Amino acid sequence: MSNWYPNNKEELKKTIKSYLIKSNKKKINGLLVPHAGYIYSGKIAGKAFSLIENNKYKTVIIFGPSHYVGFYGIASLEEIKTPLGNIDIEKNELRKLKYEHSIDNQIPFLQYLGIKKLLPIVVGDITIDQAKEFAKQYNKKDTLYIFSTDLSHFLPYKECLKKDKDTIKAIEKLDFDHFGKVDACGRTALKIMFALCKENKWKPKLIEYKNSGDITKDKSQVVGYASFYF
């Protein structure tokens, strides 16, 4: 069971409902959301997921970084199960991993919003050229793309703000030239997002930024969180 969100089905549904807001957005192609424990980043993710509540998609693809296994290229997951039940995984020929919280933490939101099937892609070490190839491979119509990353980790509050401001700017500009300034655990997944957005002329727009210091009030070592739509 998860250490990242409530393990009780009804409590989890109630928690997700509290994070969602009313939105009049029309067509959303994708989201960039954090993947920390819900008490830290759930509201920030919830504001992003709210934008897709009334949209219909043929396919949902989630890209998230690998935290537990080092590898080159991309992989998928064997199965995904949350307190809200199992979710079907699109058939694929990728190598299979047992678990990845950067993917798993997004699933309850999608289940709550009625998504029953998706393709989870865990991203290992890849080059920018490989990212461009993966972006072409998975560039499909009527698809919702979810990219998963937190921002800087364990910096003093003011240093975190400065570092994350640079990362947010690079994301908004899809700036491969200054990708070295991107301080995020999901950097590998972001390479694919940059390439995919460039190919489709999509522009990421910031929804909300906060860090753990804003939530816990402990500003000695904080982690940054942001959500975007495109």
Q: How many CA atoms lie within 13 A of 31 on its CB side?
A: 30
Predicted model pTM: 0.95
Q: What does DSSP assign to residue 82? A: E
Structure tokens at 44: 């920030």
Per-residue confidence of the chain (230 residues) as pLDDT tens digits?
578 999 999 999 999 999 999 887 778 999 999 999 999 999 999 999 999 988 889 999 999 999 999 999 999 999 999 999 999 999 999 999 999 999 999 999 999 999 999 999 999 999 999 999 999 999 999 999 999 999 999 999 999 999 999 999 999 999 999 898 899 999 999 999 999 999 999 999 999 999 999 999 999 999 999 999 99
Q: Estimate the crossing angle of helix 128-137 against helix 187-200, to 10 degrees.
A: 60
How is the chain split into domains, by residue range?
23-215
Do 7 and 83 meet the contact criterion of CB atoms below 8 Å apart? yes
Nearest Cα to 186, choosing from 153, 219, 221, 211? 153
Q: Cβ neighbours of residue 122 under 8 Å, at least 6 residues apart?
A: 64, 65, 66, 74, 75, 76, 77, 97, 100, 102, 103
Quote the CA–CA distance of 218 and 5 in Å, as a whole number: 21
DSSP of 102-161: HHHTTHHHHHHTT--EEEEEEE-B--HHHHHHHHHHT--TTEEEEEE----EEE-HHHHH
- Beta-bridge partner residues of 205: 229
Quote the CA–CA distance of 55 and 25 in Å, as a whole number: 9
Query: Quick one: fold of 23-215?
Result: Protocatechuate 4,5-dioxygenase; Chain B (3.40.830)
Quote the CA–CA distance of 229 and 197 in Å, as a whole number: 11
Strand 85-89 versus strand 117-123 pairing type: parallel
